[in-house]
Amino acid sequence: MYKILKKRDLNESNVLMEIEAPRVAKKALPGQFVIIRVDEDGERIPLTIAGLDLETGGVRVIFQKVGYSTTLLGEKNEGDYISDFAGPLGKPTDFEDFKKVIVVGGGLGCAIAYPIAKALYDKGVEVDLVVGFKTKDLIILEDEMKEAATRLHIMTDDGSYGKKGFTTDGLDAILAEDPNYDAVFVFGPPIMMKFIAQVTKKYDVKTIVSMNPIMIDGTGMCGGCRITVGGETKFACVDGPDFDGHLVDWDEFMRRSAMYKEQESEAMEKHKCRMEGMS
């Protein structure tokens, strides 16, 4: 069993948790992920690591209460235990010797964009952090992100905070002025990553995307997480999760990610009924 050391609601649907897993904390590197099971018979949920606390042995994850299992996890509190926590999985992000980069985060993707930007910024890399949210109320980690970049660019879809527009607009504006960036790192929903990759393609800037497909074991065994990159099938869990954004077959990825949508909403309905039945 693994203890929840910290829990913070970032907004209505996004939750930050720090879970006690000293072995994982000791080894994890930016870009890697963990697999969580809330309880016995629970689903295995892959979540990218959003930070570490080496003193407490805590591993931070940030998730959206979107399906049955993440909702269940969101109902747990500080001091509660979850049944499984495995990691670090996948390959760490390769920072090569980049000097000047852009990190893009969309919505919940900022949970990962932030630690990656921070790791680069702390190494002395010049970092533009472009983050986008639907609206002001959904902004997360603003104070933290300010400390993790040379320049922070906040975008909102409705213009209620920062600049109005999508992350693609923000990114395009930066690159139009100065296309001499070594790389762009992208974290966010697949559709956003697809369009970001189209923008960077225009300016011919290396683009690294962090993929989060459906998977079970996260160790290469099931092959459920396969994606096509440059015409070849890759397993995101062992070959990734980072890939060249210009080579990913985005339409296939989005289609595969939506495979269990119907079952997911059925499971949510069942859960809601049960919760309402209890109250």
Partner 1 sequence: MAERNMSPNKTPIPEQDPQLRNKNFEEVALGYTEEMAVSEAARCLQCKNRPCVAGCPVNVQIPEFIDLIVKKDFAGAYKKIKETNSLPAVCGRVCPQETQCEARCVRGIKGDSVGIGRLERFAADWAMKNLDEKAEAPKSNGHKVAVLGAGPAGLTCAGDLAMLGYDVTIFEAFHKGGGVLVYGIPEFRLPKAIVQAEIDKLIEIGVKLDTNILAGKVVSIPELFEEEGFEAVFIGTGAGLPMFMEIPGENLNGVFSANEFLTRTNLMKAYSEEAATPMMKFSKVAVVGGGNVAMDSARCAQRLGADTVYIVYRRSMEEMPARKEEVHHAIEEGIVFNILTNPTQIIGDEKGYVKGIECVEMELGEPDASGRRRPIAKEGSEFVLDVDAVIMALGTNPNPIISDNTPHLDINKKGCIIADEETGATSLPGVFAGGDIVTGAATVILAMGAGKVAAAAMDKYIQEKK
Q: How far is the CB of 34 from partner 1 (least distance, A)?
A: 9
User: Which residue number, 142 or 264, has a Cβ lying nearer to partner 1?
Assistant: 264
Q: Which of 126, 228, 246, 247 binds partner 1 (CB under 8 A)?
A: 228
Q: How far apart, in whole angstroms, are the C-alpha atoms of residue 187 and residue 51?
A: 15
235 near partner 1 (CB under 8 A): yes
Q: Which of 224, 246, 247, 268 binds partner 1 (CB under 8 A)?
A: 224
Q: Which of 173, 238, 247, 268 binds partner 1 (CB under 8 A)?
A: 238
- Tell me which stretch binds partner 1 (CB under 8 A): 48-56, 133-141, 240-248, 251-259: 251-259
Q: How far is the CB of 118 from partner 1 (least distance, A)?
A: 23
Q: How far apart, in whole angstroms, are the C-alpha atoms of residue 109 and residue 199?
A: 18
Angle at 49 between CA 46 and CA 52, to 5 degrees: 145
DSSP-assigned letter for residue 136: G
Q: How far is the CB of 224 from partner 1 (least distance, A)?
A: 5
| CB proximity list for 269: less than 8 A, separation 6 or greater | none
User: Which residue number, 124 or 277, has a Cβ lying nearer to partner 1?
Assistant: 277
User: Which residues in 79-138 contact partner 1 (CB under 8 A)?
Assistant: 83-89
198 near partner 1 (CB under 8 A): no
User: Which residues in 28-47 contact partner 1 (CB under 8 A)?
Assistant: 37, 41-44
Residue 62, token pair as written in the block:
């940030």
Q: Rounded to the nearest 5°, which phi and psi values hold at 74?
A: -65, -20
Contact (CB, 8 A) for 243 and 267: no
* Alpha helices in the chain, H assignment, sequence order: 22-27, 68-74, 110-122, 142-146, 167-177, 190-203, 236-239, 250-257, 261-278
Q: How far is the CB of 64 from partner 1 (least distance, A)?
A: 17
Q: Which of 9, 12, 137, 260 binds partner 1 (CB under 8 A)?
A: 260
Closest CA to 30 of 152, 121, 108: 121
- Tell me which stretch binds partner 1 (CB under 8 A): 4-12, 158-166, 203-211, 231-239: 231-239
In this structure, the chain runs to a length of: 279
Q: How far apart, in whole angstroms, are the C-alpha atoms of residue 233 and residue 250?
A: 13
Q: Which of 252, 272, 273, 275 binds partner 1 (CB under 8 A)?
A: 252
| CB proximity list for 5: less than 8 A, separation 6 or greater | 18, 19, 20, 53, 56, 58, 78
Closest CA to 67 of 276, 270, 277: 270
Q: How far is the CB of 82 from partner 1 (least distance, A)?
A: 11
Q: How far is the CB of 68 from partner 1 (least distance, A)?
A: 6
Contacting positions for partner 1 (CB under 8 A): 23-24, 27, 37, 41-44, 68-69, 83-89, 216-217, 219-224, 226-228, 233, 235, 238, 252, 255-256, 259-260, 263-264, 267
